[in-house]
């Protein structure tokens, strides 16, 4: 068995708490995983603690997924092996959290204008006091009966170009890459197939990412071989993960796994810096 390098928890918009994710990973027989919550590292220490306290045979790689924007495109940058206790990292993440709170407020106001009132406090409860995202607004909409899934909430209201879309705090991919590298991590472009714009992918590679998330559930075979070649041509690391958000939220934990040899390649790249 291998490593799932893209996993969300309740620290961001995942449905399982860090200890539940650890338990599920063990039950599935994974060798290891990286917890990569959106704009937060709050799940890392609790997960590490459980693993060491209970002497579990599971390798946890500290990670993050930074949501950035380039023009009208969302660009997600994964960070691995970053120092998740780094002070300037934590300061920046605090700033991002505040910006997310403000954005949630604006989206709720927009929904109210559309005749779909929500209680902002309820949205925050769905976020469990952690990083708020559009999926939590979707959860509150489901509860009100406005939509029946997160998917539907995005398609009808929350996605770019939909009536309740509110642009995010300006955070360019270059800054995200610098932030991750600045605290000792490897920066990896997440799911390039979802960007699906060769020029933009080339731009992000030129910004200095260390790797590409080649293996991803929503990548077609053609995309996978294309990004595999692109990574090889540019001397980049090859990673992959499921983007797990919960048992009933799309991709299953471990749906994509990479081998130990890819983890070794990441560690080698870190040590050669």
Told to check if 130 binds Zn ion by CB under 5 A, we report no
Q: Which residue stretch of 114-122, 127-135, 222-230, 263-271 sits at the interface with ligand AMP (rule: CB under 6 A)? A: 127-135
Q: Which residues pair with 64 in a beta bridge?
A: 79
Under rule CB under 5 A, residue 13 binds Zn ion? yes
Do residues 54 and 21 lie in contact, with contact meaning Cβ atoms separated by under 8 Å? no
**Residue whose C-beta lies closest to Fe ion:** 76
* Cα 107 to Cα 103: distance, rounded to the nearest angstrom: 6
232 interface partner picked from ligand AMP, Zn ion, Fe ion, none, CB below 5 to 8 A per type? none
- Does position 133 bind ligand AMP by CB under 6 A? yes
8 Å CB contact between 22 and 78: no
Written as six digits, the tokens of 235 are: 């001397």
Is residue 59 within 8 Å of 258, Cβ to Cβ?
no
Residue 232 CB, shortest distance to ligand AMP, in Å, is 27
Task: Summarize the chain as % helix, strand, coil (round to 5).
Answer: 45, 15, 40
Q: Which stretch binds Zn ion (CB under 5 A): 2-10, 19-27, 214-222, 230-238?
A: 2-10
Q: How many residues bind ligand AMP (CB under 6 A)?
A: 9
Closest residue to Zn ion in the complex (CB): 13
C-alpha span between 258 and 199 (Å, rounded)? 27
Please say which residue, 12 or 257, places its beta carbon nearer to Zn ion.
12
Q: In the window 136-175, what residues touch ligand AMP (CB under 6 A)?
A: 150-151, 154
Q: Which does 80 bind (CB under 5 to 8 A by kind): Fe ion, Zn ion, ligand AMP, none?
A: none
Q: Can you list the alpha helix ranges (DSSP code H) found in the chain?
A: 18-27, 44-53, 87-113, 120-126, 134-143, 150-153, 173-182, 192-195, 198-206, 221-233, 260-271
37 binds Zn ion (CB under 5 A): no
Task: Count Cβ neighbours within 10 Å for each residue of 77-116 and write b for 16 or more, e otherwise.
Answer: bbbbbbebebeebeebbeebbeebeebbeebbebbeeeeb
Among 4, 13, 243, 249, binds Fe ion (CB under 5 A): 243
Q: How far apart are CB 150 and Zn ion at their closest, in Å? A: 9
Closest separation in Å from C-beta 25 to ligand AMP: 19
Q: Decide if residue 67 touches ligand AMP (CB under 6 A).
A: yes
Least Cβ distance, residue 91 to ligand AMP (angstroms): 20
Compute the least distance from the CB of residue 131 to ligand AMP, in Å: 8
Task: Assess 257 for contact with ligand AMP (CB under 6 A).
Answer: no
Binds Fe ion (CB under 5 A): choice among 76, 84, 100, 150: 76
Maximum C-alpha span of the chain? 56
Residue burial 221-255, b: 16+ Cβ < 10 Å; e: rest? eebeebbeebbeeeebbbbbbbbbbbeebebebbb
Where on the chain is the footprint of ligand AMP (CB under 6 A)?
13, 38, 67, 133-135, 150-151, 154
Binding residues vs Zn ion (CB under 5 A): 8, 13
């Amino acid at each position: 068995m291998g490593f799932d390098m893209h996993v969300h928890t309740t620290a961001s918009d995942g449905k399982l708490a860090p200890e539940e994710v650890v338990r599920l990973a063990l039950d599935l027989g994974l060798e290891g995983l990286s917890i990569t919550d959106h704009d937060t590292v709050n799940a890392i220490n609790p997960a590490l603690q459980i693993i060491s306290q209970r002497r579990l045979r599971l390798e946890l790689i500290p990670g993050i997924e930074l949501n950035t924007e380039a023009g009208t495109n969302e660009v997600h940058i994964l960070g691995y092996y970053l120092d998740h206790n780094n002070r300037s990292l934590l300061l920046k993440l605090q700033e991002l959290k505040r910006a997310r709170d403000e954005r949630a407020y604006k989206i709720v106001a927009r929904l109210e204008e559309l005749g779909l009132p929500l209680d902002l406090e309820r949205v925050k409860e769905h976020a469990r006091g952690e990083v708020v995202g559009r999926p939590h607004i979707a959860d509150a909409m489901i509860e009100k009966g406005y939509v029946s899934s997160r998917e539907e909430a995005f398609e009808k209201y929350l996605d770019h170009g939909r009536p309740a879309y509110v642009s995010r705090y300006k955070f360019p991919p270059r800054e995200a890459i610098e932030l991750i590298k600045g605290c000792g991590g490897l920066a990896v472009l997440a799911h390039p197939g979802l960007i699906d714009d060769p020029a933009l992918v080339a731009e992000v590679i030129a910004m200095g990412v260390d790797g590409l998330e080649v293996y991803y559930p929503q990548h077609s075979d053609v995309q996978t071989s294309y990004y595999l070649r692109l990574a090889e041509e540019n001397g980049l690391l090859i990673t992959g993960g499921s983007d797990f958000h919960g048992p009933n939220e799309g991709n299953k934990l471990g749906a994509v796994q990479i081998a130990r040899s890819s983890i070794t390649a990441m560690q080698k790249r870190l040590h050669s810096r």
